[in-house]
Amino acid sequence: MAMLATVWIVLLAVNIQAGDGQSVQMDSIKSGFVGSQVELRCIFVNSNPPVKISQVTWQKFLNGTKQNVAIANPSLGVSVLPPFKERVTFKQAAVRHRTPSLEDTTIMFSNLRLSDEAAYICEYTTFPAGNRENMVNLTVFARPLTRMTLTTPTIVARPQKRKMTVATCLSANGKPQSVIKWDTRLKGEATFQETQNANGTVTVRSNYVVVPSRETHKQKLTCIVTYRNERITDSVVLNVQYEPEVKIEGFDGNWYLNRQDVSLTCNTDANPPVTVYQWKLLNGSLPSTVEIRNNSLIFKGAVTYELAGTYVCDATNGIGTRTGLVEVNITEFPNNPPPGGREIPQEQHNAGAVIGGAVGGVVLLAAAATLLFVFLRRRQRTFKGDYSTKKQVFGNGYSKAGGLPAHPPIPNNLQYPDDSDDEKKPAQIAVTGGFEASERDFDRDAEDLKRPYFTVDEGESQDYDERTLAFQYNPGPDVADDMVSQTDGSVISKKEWYV
Ligand SMILES: *[C@@H]1O[C@H](CO)[C@@H](O)[C@H](O)[C@H]1NC(C)=O
Ligand SMILES: *[C@@H]1O[C@H](CO)[C@@H](O)[C@H](O)[C@H]1NC(C)=O
Ligand SMILES: *[C@@H]1O[C@H](CO)[C@@H](O)[C@H](O)[C@H]1NC(C)=O
Ligand SMILES: *[C@@H]1O[C@H](CO)[C@@H](O)[C@H](O)[C@H]1NC(C)=O
Ligand SMILES: *[C@@H]1O[C@H](CO)[C@@H](O)[C@H](O)[C@H]1NC(C)=O
Ligand SMILES: *[C@@H]1O[C@H](CO)[C@@H](O)[C@H](O)[C@H]1NC(C)=O
């Protein structure tokens, strides 16, 4: 964008030069902060044939009206007009010389004010070419005053949880206006408000609202103000005062007769800290054996039934008083295994069982592994032997698989789907998906590579398969039992025979 603008200006300048020979060169925009100084450049390009400069006039152009700022005249000298007299000077001393050079009439504008924001025209009156002028737009920025304040140094958390502003972030009289954001883990909300000032500045204010509580104490709250490309951050840590949070500790539900050295402690979380603890026993007075030590009740000597009751601790700080209570009951005998009694042996016993179990497991595992290994070795050999058989079987069709000698390898590896029990065919899933396909499509080397995996699978499923097979197959002897030989050499079922 800036590039484009520059190119356009250059083109414009060239055009003017080409047409008329002379031009006024200025920056198109300039900016400065209130109180600072800016340089407004104005250079007259006097090309051949040179023209005579009769006067140079700087003007402020605002709201459609022009106001003279400074004039340089070759014969009359230099004049800076009243509202600018103290703050505007020509940069080049040569402008003020008796025989001045007016080619560079750049001005220095110091101690900028917001009201200086305007367009400034630098106009050359020449002879015989006439007037040439250009313009610079001056923007004046005002740095805002940014600060964050806590509403009060200490916030009091009231029981009737009411929202309140805990901190305010302010960015005052900025131009351009700032943006306020908050960064915190507090659960609260921010309100935003902006005020436009007559001088063009904007004041932005944000309040952070929370319900003060114990949880908000010591929470950090950061205000992030973004002004132009600057980030200004400020943090506060909340100091929230709250009533004591009371908890009585020391009663473990196991105060039995003659137990020694029991005590109750009134533990509190409070800001400011608790100054007064008061112990009471509901519907009675504290036992005579009790000693109050700061926030503790020390029961001297052995536990008696007399100690039973509801103990109350009133804790007071600057904010209020809160009460904690505990109901103490006394039993004749310990109701739990006392610590250090049976518990430790039990643990040891458990540990023993674990160790024993682990050792047993390892031994069992080792035995199983040995068996498996022996078995695998045998199977491997068996399998290799059967491998070609299987190939033949494959070629002849599966209907013959059932008629193979005992211990057929295929059924061992392949499962029977429920619906093919009658035919005793190997499952199609296993056959087509895996083994059969590879047998058809790959050479022997590929098969050999696959075999070890196959063998392991076989070994793993051995037990199950053997049992299943034994049951399903009803080999030799059963035929003799259930079937009856016929004179023609065939056999028929006994059932059929007797029907
Ligand atoms: C500029 O003009 C507007 C109305 O056209 C007027 O409200 C405003 O006050 C003028 N500003 C100055 C600085 O004269
Ligand atoms: C400069 O200001 C004038 C009038 O205020 C405006 O018309 C012009 O577009 C501005 N030029 C630039 C480059 O901002
Ligand atoms: C702008 O106006 C505000 C409000 O009147 C004032 O507080 C502030 O100082 C002014 N800023 C400048 C730079 O004059
Ligand atoms: C005694 O107090 C414990 C803990 O408060 C409670 O679990 C138990 O039921 C009480 N026993 C009797 C007899 O009140
Ligand atoms: C304790 O005393 C109050 C009245 O002071 C009574 O209402 C309450 O039932 C009493 N509780 C016991 C356990 O005696
Ligand atoms: C308890 O009180 C004694 C004085 O009675 C004081 O010296 C001691 O520091 C206190 N201890 C605690 C933990 O507040």
> Do the domain assignments include residue 289?
yes
pLDDT category at 153 given cuts 50, 70, 90 is confident
Same domain, yes or no, for 131 and 74?
Answer: yes
pLDDT of residue 75 exceeding 60, the answer is yes
Q: Whose CA is nearest to atom 11 of ligand 2?
A: 137
Write down which residue in 217, 238, 259 finishes a domain.
238
Out of 197, 204, 227, mutate this one to test ligand 3's pocket (max ligand atoms within 8 Å of CB): namely 197
247-256, 282-291, 325-334: which range is least confident on average? 282-291
Same domain, yes or no, for 310 and 420?
Answer: no
- pTM of the prediction? 0.59
pLDDT category at 154 given cuts 50, 70, 90 is confident
Tell which atom from ligand 2 comes closest to the C-alpha of 135: 1
Contact 170, 229 (CB under 8 A): no
Q: What is the mean pLDDT of residues 294-301?
A: 92
Query: Cis before residue 128, ω within 30 degrees of 0?
Result: yes
Write down which residue in 113, 141, 169 finishes a domain.
141
> Do the domain assignments include residue 85?
yes
Q: Whose CA is nearest to atom 7 of ligand 2?
A: 119
Q: What is the mean pLDDT of residues 70-80?
A: 93
Q: What is the pLDDT of residue 22?
A: 87
Q: What is the pLDDT of residue 133?
A: 94
User: CB-based contacts of 282: which residues, under 8 Å, 6+ apart?
Assistant: 309, 310, 311, 312, 325
Same domain, yes or no, for 60 and 109?
Answer: yes
Write out the chain in H/E/C secondary structure. Answer: CHHHHHHHHHHHHHHHHHHHCEEEECCCEEEEECCCCEEECCEEEECCCCCEEEEEEEEEEECCEEEEEEEEECCCEEEECHHHCCCEEECCHHHHCCCCCCCECCEEECCCCHHHCEEEEEEEEEECCEEEEEEEEEEEEECCEEEEEECCCCEECCCCCCCEEEEEEEEEEEECCCEEEEEECCCCEEEEEEEECCCCCEEEEEEEEECCCHHHCCCEEEEEEEECCEEEEEEEECCEEEEEEEEEECCCCCEECCCEEEEEEEEEEEECCCCEEEEEECCECCCCCEEEECCEEEEEEECCHHHCEEEEEEEECCCCEEEEEEEECEECCCCCCCCCCCHHHHHHHHHHHHHHHHHHHHHHHHHHHHHHHHHHHHHHHHHHHHHHHHHHHHHHCHHHHHHCCCCCHHHHHCCCCHHHCCCCCCCHHHHHHHHHHHHHHCCHHHHHHHHHHHHHHHHHCHHHHHHHHHHHHCCCHHHHHHEEECCCCCEEEHHHHHC
> Do the domain assignments include residue 9?
no
Report the number of distinct structural domains present in the chain: 4
Q: Whose CA is nearest to atom 11 of ligand 3?
A: 173
Q: What is the pLDDT of residue 372?
A: 58
**pLDDT above 70 coverage of the chain, percent:** 63
Rounded to whole angstroms, the Cα distance separating 487 from 74 reads 151
Cα(138) to ligand 5 centroid in Å equals 84
Same domain, yes or no, for 53 and 118?
Answer: yes
Cα(254) to ligand 4 centroid in Å equals 9
pLDDT of residue 359 exceeding 50, the answer is no
Q: What is the pLDDT of residue 226?
A: 96
Q: Which residues line ligand 4 (CB under 6 A)?
A: 253, 327, 329
CB of 62 sitting under 6 A from ligand 2: no
> Do the domain assignments include residue 260?
yes
CB of 36 sitting under 6 A from ligand 3: no
Q: What is the CATH number of the domain that holds 159?
A: 2.60.40.10
Q: What is the pLDDT of residue 407?
A: 43
Rounded to whole angstroms, the Cα distance separating 410 from 458 reads 10
Domain span including residue 151: 145-238
Q: Strand 202-210 relative to strand 189-196: parallel, antiparallel, unpaired?
A: antiparallel
Contact 390, 400 (CB under 8 A): no
> Do the domain assignments include residue 5?
no
Same domain, yes or no, for 223 and 293?
Answer: no
Q: How many CB atoms lie within 10 A of CB 54?
A: 14
> Do the domain assignments include residue 360?
no
CB of 5 sitting under 6 A from ligand 2: no
Q: What is the pLDDT of residues 362-379, one digit of tens each?
A: 545 555 665 555 555 655
Q: From the CA atom positions of the chain, what is the Rg in Å?
A: 51
Q: What is the pLDDT of residue 451?
A: 37
Q: Whose CA is nearest to atom 10 of ligand 1?
A: 63
Same domain, yes or no, for 262 and 182?
Answer: no
Cα(134) to ligand 2 centroid in Å equals 12
26-40, 121-135, 450-464: which range is least confident on average? 450-464
Contact 248, 325 (CB under 8 A): yes
**Cα separation of the two ends of the chain:** 106
Q: What is the pLDDT of residue 347?
A: 38
Same domain, yes or no, for 43 and 91?
Answer: yes
Tell which atom from ligand 5 comes closest to the C-alpha of 283: 1
Q: What is the pLDDT of residue 380?
A: 53
Please report which ligand is nearest the Cα atom of 121: 2
Q: At what angle do helices 343-396 and 444-460 cross, to 10 degrees?
A: 140
Same domain, yes or no, for 229 and 282?
Answer: no
Q: What is the mean pLDDT of residues 51-60?
A: 94
Q: Which residues line ligand 1 (CB under 6 A)?
A: 62-63
Q: What is the pLDDT of residue 158?
A: 87
CB of 119 sitting under 6 A from ligand 2: yes
Same domain, yes or no, for 67 and 79?
Answer: yes
pLDDT of residue 187 exceeding 80, the answer is yes
Q: Whose CA is nearest to atom 6 of ligand 1?
A: 63
> Do the domain assignments include residue 369?
no
20-24, 95-99, 125-129, 353-357: which range is least confident on average? 353-357
Tell which atom from ligand 2 comes closest to the C-alpha of 28: 13
Q: What's the mean per-residue pLDDT of the chain?
A: 74
Same domain, yes or no, for 76 and 153?
Answer: no
Q: What is the pLDDT of residues 425-469, one digit of tens each?
A: 343 333 333 333 333 433 444 444 333 333 333 333 333 333 333
Q: What is the pLDDT of residue 294?
A: 86
Q: What is the mean pLDDT of residues 143-165?
A: 90
Q: How many CB atoms lie within 10 A of CB 474?
A: 11
Q: Which residue has the higher pLDDT, 3 or 334?
A: 334
Q: What is the pLDDT of residues 191-247, one digit of tens each?
A: 999 999 999 999 999 999 999 999 999 999 999 999 999 999 999 999 999 999 999
Write down which residue in 116, 141, 166 finishes a domain.
141
Q: Whose CA is nearest to atom 5 of ligand 1?
A: 63
Same domain, yes or no, for 113 and 149?
Answer: no
Out of 137, 138, 139, mutate this one to test ligand 2's pocket (max ligand atoms within 8 Å of CB): namely 137
> Do the domain assignments include residue 2?
no
In 3D, which of 244, 288, 290 has the Cα closest to residue 270?
Answer: 244
Cα(133) to ligand 1 centroid in Å equals 25
Cα(28) to ligand 2 centroid in Å equals 8
Tell which atom from ligand 3 comes closest to the C-alpha of 172: 7
Cα(7) to ligand 5 centroid in Å equals 95
Maximum average pLDDT range among 145-154, 271-280, 389-398, 481-490: 271-280
Residue 249: both structure tokens together? 């500790």
Residue 200: which region, alpha, beta or left (left: phi > 0; alpha: psi -120 to 50)? left
Tell which atom from ligand 2 comes closest to the C-alpha of 62: 5
Strand partners, 195: 203
Same domain, yes or no, for 29 and 121?
Answer: yes
Cα(333) to ligand 4 centroid in Å equals 13
Q: Whose CA is nearest to atom 1 of ligand 2?
A: 137
Tell which atom from ligand 3 comes closest to the C-alpha of 200: 1
pLDDT of residue 393 exceeding 50, the answer is no
Please report which ligand is nearest the Cα atom of 292: 6
